[in-house]
Amino acid sequence: MLPPVILWNENRLSLLDQRRLPCSVEFLECERAVDVAEAIETLAVRGAPAIGIAAAFGVALEAGKGRAAASRAIERLAVTRPTAVNLFWALRRVEARLRRLPADAPDSALFSAVLDEAFAIQREDLEGNRALGRSGAKLLPDECTVMTHCNAGALATGGHGTALGVIRSARDAGKKVRVFACETRPLLQGARLTVWELMRDGFDVTLLCDNMAGSLMKSRRIDAVIVGADRIAANGDTANKIGTYSHAVLAKHFGIPFYVAAPLSTFDASIPSGEAIPIEERAADEVRKLPGGGMLPAEYSIWNPAFDVTDASLISAIITEKGAIFPPFAEGIASFLSE
């Protein structure tokens, strides 16, 4: 069993502090929206759907102080991380909910409405992931080995997970799934989070460094690569954790199906292709840190994009809560989003 990841508790937001995992299970108590914003920026809470859920609760922390306070919270939360579109999607939902209230609604009504919306976003994400998991599970053989990257699990969502949700649902359907998890430099979400999450759930999971993926695919039978997404453009180009693109190129080379698992809240129909997806660049020190505890010299020039874009042409299917979309993606995406 996993501890709660995002928990509203007596008018405070309690976040499982993912910076501390797997060494210790600690919770970060947030009393103001700015606490949530900082938790998102520092990756105490991370993963596209979880960022959106946490942000919605972050607005709830301020909504009882009036519309202006809620708007300030939305503005602050919107500048935390640029790539995960679920953040903006969730904030828009909260904003729309506030707009539907009468102009003279008391602050207590604003608070209740935002809190209710945040709970709905969290609940719908969990339900969506279960549906997404069931449709993705059908794509996997009865006995299979899959490779994943970063953490697109219960820790990154309202529960169950997207990429890891497919793996969980496959097991629930009686399939035998073995997992290889890439460590995911520089912040090691795969090593620290995915392996921890899957081991706690009793999965057969093996860790590898990102640069071992090619050797793994060459030397063992890998039946599928399954990853999550931070933003999917109208044509299917997909932004996800840096390193995903290299895995997709390798998977194509070896003829291995490459699946993206994501809820519809991760699609951005306003962006025609991956070129327009904003890619977050993070602090050089994340790369500068050495395993032994030291730092690379400050004068080293470092490039640290947090995400990359996988071309739709490298993706075998995009698995959503409404079912899987197969290439060419544009039509399927448009129809799923319009339903």
Identify which range of 44-52, 60-68, 72-80, 211-219 contacts ligand MRU by CB under 6 A: 44-52
Q: Does 128 engage in binding with ligand MRU (CB under 6 A)?
A: no
Compute and round to an integer the Cα radius of gyration of the chain.
19
Task: Identify which of residues 105 and 126 has a Cβ nearer to ligand MRU in the complex.
Answer: 126
Q: Which of 152, 233, 277, 324 binds ligand MRU (CB under 6 A)?
A: 152
From the list 47, 52, 64, 274, which residue makes contact with ligand MRU (rule: CB under 6 A)? 47
Encode the chain in three state secondary structure.
Answer: CCCCCEEEECCEEEEECCCCCCCCCCEEEECCHHHHHHHHHCCCCCCHHHHHHHHHHHHHHHHCCCHHHHHHHHHHHHCCCCCCHHHHHHHHHHHHHHHCCCCCCCHHHHHHHHHHHHHHHHHHHHHHHHHHHHHHHCCCCCEEEEEECCCCCHHHCCCCCCHHHHHHHHHHCCCEEEEEEECCCCCCHHHHHHHHHHHHCCCEEEEECHHHHHHHHHHCCCCEEEECCCEEECCCCEEEECCHHHHHHHHHHHCCCEEEECCHHHEECCCCCHHHCCCCECCCHHHHECCCCCECCCCCCCCCECEEEECHHHCCEEEECCEEECCCHHHHHHHHHHC
Chain residues 169-198 in contact with ligand MRU, contact rule CB under 6 A: 189
Contacting residue, 6, 33, 73, 84, with ligand MRU by CB under 6 A: 84
Give the strand pairing for 238-241 and 258-261. unpaired
Selected binder of ligand MRU within 128, 158, 159, 228 (CB under 6 A): 228
Q: Which residues, at least 6 apart from 320, have a Cβ–Cβ distance to it below 8 Å? A: 132, 135, 261, 262, 263, 264, 336
225 binds ligand MRU (CB under 6 A): no
Of the pair 115, 146, the CB lying nearest ligand MRU is at: 146
Q: How far is the CB of 75 from ligand MRU (least distance, A)?
A: 21
**Which CB atom, from 74 or from 319, has the smaller least distance to ligand MRU?**
319
**Residue 230 appears among annotated catalytic residues:** yes
Give the whole-angstrom CA distance, residue 210 versus residue 9.
38
Q: Which of 92-100, 112-120, 131-139, 226-234 is the region at the interface with ligand MRU (rule: CB under 6 A)?
A: 226-234
* 167 near ligand MRU, judged by CB under 6 A: no
- Residues 156, 170, 205, 319: which binds ligand MRU (CB under 6 A)? 156
* Active-site position among 230, 237, 268, 308: 230
Out of 62, 183, 197, 230, point to the residue binding ligand MRU (CB under 6 A). Answer: 230
# residues near ligand MRU by CB under 6 A: 18
How far apart CA 329 and CA 189 sit, in angstroms, is: 28
**Would you say 222 or 242 has its CB closer to ligand MRU?**
242
Instruction: Tell which positions 308-327 bind ligand MRU, by CB under 6 A.
Output: none
Q: How far is the CB of 161 from ligand MRU (least distance, A)?
A: 6
* Candidate residues 5, 37, 63, 229; the one interacting with ligand MRU per rule CB under 6 A: 229
49 is a site residue for ligand MRU (CB under 6 A): yes
Residue choice 74, 139, 150, 226 for contact with ligand MRU (CB under 6 A) = 150
Task: Indicate the residue whose CB is closest to ligand MRU.
Answer: 228
Q: Could you list the residues that contact ligand MRU (CB under 6 A)? A: 43, 46-49, 84, 150, 152, 156-157, 162, 189, 228-230, 240-241, 306
| Active centre residues (catalytic) | 230
